[in-house]
Structure 1
Amino acid sequence: MIFAIVGPSGAGKDTLIRGALAARPDLRLVRRVITRPTESGGEDFDGVTPEEFARRQSLGHFALTWEAHGLSYGIPRDQITGPGDVIFNGSRAALPEAAQVFPGLRAILVTAPDILLAVRLAARGRETAQDIRSRLSRASFEMPAGIAFRTVINDASPEIGIARLLAALQPVRA
């Protein structure tokens, strides 16, 4: 099974993903390729220049790519295959294409109240006040039509958020 974890910036996706990986050794995390310096912090990702990203894309390195906030993101094709469930931090806007590329994809929307999003964005120190306002304006972005998803509200302790994500990763009961 392939899970796309999506949601607004500051929702705590990376924190919940790390917790889910610790609790479920069968999960495999896709290490995204992003046109952002690796030392900028946050998640574990492969930071590349826009030129290197374009080169890898032209060689068919990525199963899925998208652009957001002036950056390019890629899901390496070679990290999708193999045993166990796969999880990646994705984009709501890229879900229609992701569903085409990964049949059976399951989407999980992680979100939080706007005030928490603003506090978390300010705490990570990567965005200006204007960037934060811009990201908050996108926080209520609707999920694309036709994409089934589960929602995890991450408005409590990390442990509670992780438990909620783990519950959302469980198989759908008929």
Structure 2
Amino acid sequence: MSKGKLFILAGPSGAGKATLVHALLAADAKVQLSISFTTRAPREGEQNGREYHFVSREEFLAMAGRGEFLEHAEVHGNLYGTSQKWISDAMARGQDILLEIDVQGAQQVRRIFDGAVGVFILPPSAEILEQRLRNRGTDSEEAIVKRLANAREEIAHVGEFDYVIVNEHIDEAVRDIIGVVRAERLRFLAQAERHNALIASLQG
């Protein structure tokens, strides 16, 4: 069985990552979302075990102390982490995994999974990014200012990623991310492993 791929999706808050994640998962049943652990409180409509595993700060720190996280970071005052065992087991079964994390986390993951594919989502402009954050209606003015400052810091790392998608028109951005996943599956090494017998028979 060929090993699954790990796709890392990052980008500033307000770039539209969540929308693209949902669209990709709906379009491609071979991709599974890695569900992170977090100490932040659930937002309205979120369920434990679906969007995140919601845990206390004490429980999170205990898990980190036991080395259970592939990566973990503090973002906007909350802790986020990814289960290393779950990802390794899923990939060994041939499952492609999608990991939506921040730039700090992406750097940590790529040190462990050097074959991970990085995709960075950009907003079409700084003005539209701010507008999207304000339209959410969930953050205070102080939180919005902080998110915009963090966005500039995250975007400074865009060059560390393999693919960049500008999320201006959502339909086009969805086609782009689906295209990235399909293209990665068609790389020679992946196809040689998957279709070894076919290639050998055709070579005579």
* TM surpasses 0.5: yes
1:12-58 residue CA offsets vs partner (Å, 9 max, x unmatched): 10110110011010001000111112245568111111111112212
Match of 2:192 in 1: none
TM-score normalised per structure 2: 0.76
Going from structure 1 to structure 2, the CA distance change for 1:39 and 1:140 (only over 3 Å counts) comes to closer
Going from structure 1 to structure 2, the CA distance change for 1:122 and 1:41 (only over 3 Å counts) comes to farther
Match of 2:69 in 1: 62
Consecutive unaligned residues of structure 2, counting only runs of 5 or more, are 189-204
1:104-129 residue CA offsets vs partner (Å, 9 max, x unmatched): 11111011022222222223233211
Quote the offset at 1:11 in angstroms: 0.5
Match of 1:165 in 2: 177
1:84-121 residue CA offsets vs partner (Å, 9 max, x unmatched): 21111111123322111222111110110222222222
Counterpart of 1:99 (choices 93, 98, 110) is: 110
Q: Following the alignment from structure 1 to structure 2, what is the Cα–Cα distance between the partners of residues 149 and 94? A: 16
Please state whether the residue corresponding to 1:25 is helix, strand or coil. Answer: coil
Structure 2 counterpart of 1:38, one-letter code: P
Please state whether the residue corresponding to 2:104 is helix, strand or coil. Answer: coil
Among the aligned pairs, what percent are the same residue? 25
Match of 1:8 in 2: 12
Going from structure 1 to structure 2, the CA distance change for 1:74 and 1:41 (only over 3 Å counts) comes to farther
From the CA coordinates, give the structure whose radius of gyration is larger. 2
Match of 1:76 in 2: 83
Q: Following the alignment from structure 1 to structure 2, what is the Cα–Cα distance between the partners of residues 131 and 39? A: 15
Matched, 1:29 2:27: no
TM-score normalised per structure 1: 0.88
8 Å contact kept, 2:120–2:158: no
Structure 2 counterpart of 1:150, one-letter code: Y
Counterpart of 1:51 (choices 34, 58, 62) is: 58
Quote the offset at 1:143 in angstroms: 1.1
Matched, 1:38 2:45: no
8 Å contact kept, 1:93–1:144: no
Going from structure 1 to structure 2, the CA distance change for 1:11 and 1:144 (only over 3 Å counts) comes to closer
Match of 1:135 in 2: 147
Match of 1:150 in 2: 163
Q: Following the alignment from structure 1 to structure 2, what is the Cα–Cα distance between the partners of residues 40 and 59? A: 31
Q: Following the alignment from structure 1 to structure 2, what is the Cα–Cα distance between the partners of residues 33 and 40? A: 17
Going from structure 1 to structure 2, the CA distance change for 1:148 and 1:121 (only over 3 Å counts) comes to closer
Please state whether the residue corresponding to 2:8 is helix, strand or coil. Answer: strand
8 Å contact kept, 1:152–1:168: no
What is the total number of aligned residue pairs between the two structures? 172
Going from structure 1 to structure 2, the CA distance change for 1:20 and 1:107 (only over 3 Å counts) comes to same
Matched, 1:116 2:128: yes
Query: Superposition RMSD on alpha carbons, in Å?
Result: 2.2
